[in-house]
Amino acid sequence: MKKSVREHIKNKTILITGGTGSFGNTVIEKLLSLEPARIVIFSRDEKKQFDMRNYYNSRLLRFIIGDVRDGASVSEAMDGVDFVFHAAALKQVPSCEFFPIEAVKTNVLGTQNVLDSAIAADVSRVVILSTDKAAYPINAMGMTKAIMEKVMVAAARKLSESGNKHTVFCGVRYGNVLYSRGSVLPFFIEQVKKNNTLPVTNPSMTRFLLPLPEAVDLVLYALVNGENGHLYVRKSRACTVGVLVEAVCRIFSHAKGYREVGIRAGEKYHETLLTCEELARVVDRGSYFDIPPESQGLEYNRYFLDGERKLESMKEAYTSENTPRAKVEEVVRILSGLSEIQDELIQIQKK
């Protein structure tokens, strides 16, 4: 019988890299209810750590200033840790387009530092957080996240080859998380408050919809069920950007509507959660997809010379264009259920 999430977490020490971000703030609420021994927040933003420390005021939280680019600071934070959620990353597409080497340093080399330190510290499990932009990537952010996934799979393969059965490396991949830091919803609502017309790249573009609590559930699922080198994807609804912005206008009674400004550099028209190559080997786990690695061992002849998939087994990629698409009414319902949206409505009503 498999352990529950609580049984996994109780009396364990969890490290969250980039822990002051949207994911960190949401997962902490969940983790604190599961009776961990300690939650270590590792990030480079002292102001956000200060705010988080004051907000939670919990003896279970420990804050460490550091950067995943610095292997020494990661190793120090890893001492005594049982589980790691690796959320530290450069995530904004335009920033990574202008500074791609910086994205490499954080998203790729930083991940390698985390995995190396986890092995040295005898950590039990590491779950890396990836993005739909890593599937068929066209921008620097997606490319570095795709390499991050490959770094995890390669490190997991080495663990298997070395006979290390104590440590497991796995990951999750998900689409746009609603109301996460840097996402479009906080920007739209800021424009609503200023009574501005909402700027929209292209209303026909599609995006996956994932509330933060569902992203947390996916990560916890990977923590409990994750196998070495596997990636886990939550099945998600999607909608057009036009439907999303119309839902925002309805919720906030915003009469000025929106205007189209054009697609930004590095943006995809539709997002992909599973490539057709991955779908050829994916395992359906109900609410989740399980993507096993293509090769578990260092058997180079099998990897380079022998094929397993047949062309006719290839399926259409799982994208925000071909997944079930939500209408405006459903998106209004989803957004209205977000605590952040409810808080914004309360604040607006008070004015």
User: How many angstroms from the chain centroid is the CA of residue 15?
Assistant: 16
d(CA 110, CA 116): 10
- Predicted TM-score of the model (pTM): 0.90
How is the chain split into domains, by residue range?
5-175+211-236+273-319
Mind listing the pLDDT tens digit of every residue in the chain (351 residues)? 467 899 999 999 999 999 999 899 889 999 999 999 999 999 999 999 999 999 999 999 999 999 999 999 999 999 999 999 999 999 988 899 999 999 999 999 999 999 999 999 999 999 999 999 999 999 999 999 999 999 999 999 999 888 888 999 999 999 888 888 768 899 999 999 999 999 999 999 999 988 888 999 999 999 999 999 999 999 989 999 999 999 999 999 999 999 999 887 778 899 999 999 999 999 999 999 999 998 655 555 555 555 555 545 567 899 999 998 999 999 999 999 988 899 999 888 776
Long-range contacts of 32-39 (CB under 8 A, 24+ apart): 32/56, 32/58, 32/60, 34/5, 34/6, 34/9, 34/10, 35/6, 35/9, 35/10, 35/11, 36/9, 36/10, 36/11, 36/12, 36/60, 37/11, 37/12, 37/13, 38/13, 38/14, 38/62, 39/13, 39/14
Contacts of 348 (CB under 8 A, 6+ apart): 193, 252
Q: Is 235 a catalytic residue?
A: no
5-175+211-236+273-319 sits in which CATH class? Answer: alpha beta
Catalytic residue among 12, 48, 91, 133: 133
